[in-house]
Amino acid sequence: MKELEARKRALVAESERCREALQAEVANLRHYTSGFFKAIDRVRSVSPWILMVVPLAIPFFRLFRRSKAEAPRSSSLKGRLAKVMLGLRLYRQYGPMVRSLVAQFQARRNAAAGRSSARQV
């Protein structure tokens, strides 16, 4: 009987150690996944910006690209003025949309900061 009780106590002690190890692993997993999801949220918050900037950036970079056949030439005042006017037109066309997206991004970030500070309290 004493052997069985000793074996039972050893099994209970081992079970307790395994339970504590499992709890520690679950805590580590929670910590890792929270960091992972924060990183995913950061990527998600940047992706609309990338989707908006790429279509605007391609024509902008094409303005300054020279073909290999062309020799570099000094840009005239007329060419510079045309580039400035194009920039101004793009600003007028896309400025309100950019300001709206910035306001939404800031509101979302402030809301997320409010939620995280509420969780800490």
Q: Report whether pLDDT(4) > 80.
A: yes
Q: Report whether pLDDT(121) > 70.
A: no
Spatial neighbors of 83 by CB under 8 A, at least 6 apart, are 63
- What is the DSSP secondary structure assignment for residue 74, as one 8-state letter? P
Check the CA dihedral 85-86-90-91 and report its sign.
negative
Q: For 54-78, what is each residue's pLDDT tens digit?
A: 777 777 777 777 655 555 555 688 8
List the structure tokens of 76: 């005239």
Q: Report whether pLDDT(120) > 80.
A: no
Residues 77-94 have a mean pLDDT of 87
Q: Between these two residues, 69 and 22, which has the higher pLDDT value?
A: 22
119 — pLDDT class (breaks 50, 70, 90): low
Integer Cα distance of 102 and 96 in angstroms? 10
| All structural domains of the chain with their residue ranges | 66-121
Mean pLDDT, the chain, integer: 82
Among 19-23, 52-56, 81-85, 108-112, the range scoring the smallest mean pLDDT is: 52-56
Q: Which helix (H) or strand (E) holds 55?
A: helix 2-64
Q: Which helix (H) or strand (E) holds 73?
A: none
Among 21-25, 33-37, 66-70, 101-105, the range scoring the smallest mean pLDDT is: 66-70
Q: Report whether pLDDT(108) > 70.
A: yes
